[in-house]
């Protein structure tokens, strides 16, 4: 079956709208804050005496790369050990 671009967009948008509802998004706020706090603590451990991190870019890249698995991290923090 062939879809026009508008049909694909409509189907995708309809699916996304069902996923992004306050109740579902709210479940991720605390775990995301915990992950962010852990990252900030890590950066603080790298600070020199003047309070700066010499090269923060590699740390941000590592954090972003690891964030690709953030859904499993969040599920673990929520007490759900099932992987998707």
pLDDT tens by residue, 17-65: 877 788 777 887 888 888 888 889 999 999 999 999 999 999 888 887 7
pLDDT at 52: 92
Q: 5 pLDDT exceeds 80?
A: no
pTM above 0.75, yes or no: no
pLDDT at 77: 56
Contact 32, 74 (CB under 8 A): yes
- Residue given tokens 């969040």 in the structure block: 74
- Any idea where the domains of the chain sit in the sequence? 5-77
């Amino acid at each position: 079956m062939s879809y026009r671009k508008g049909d694909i967009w409509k189907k995708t948008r309809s699916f996304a709208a069902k996923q992004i509802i306050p109740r579902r998004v709210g479940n991720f706020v605390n775990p995301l804050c915990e992950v962010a706090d852990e990252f900030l603590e890590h950066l603080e451990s790298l600070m020199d005496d003047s309070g700066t991190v010499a090269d923060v870019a590699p740390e941000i890249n590592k954090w972003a790369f690891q964030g690709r698995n953030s859904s499993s991290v969040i599920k673990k923090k929520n007490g759900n050990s099932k992987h998707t």
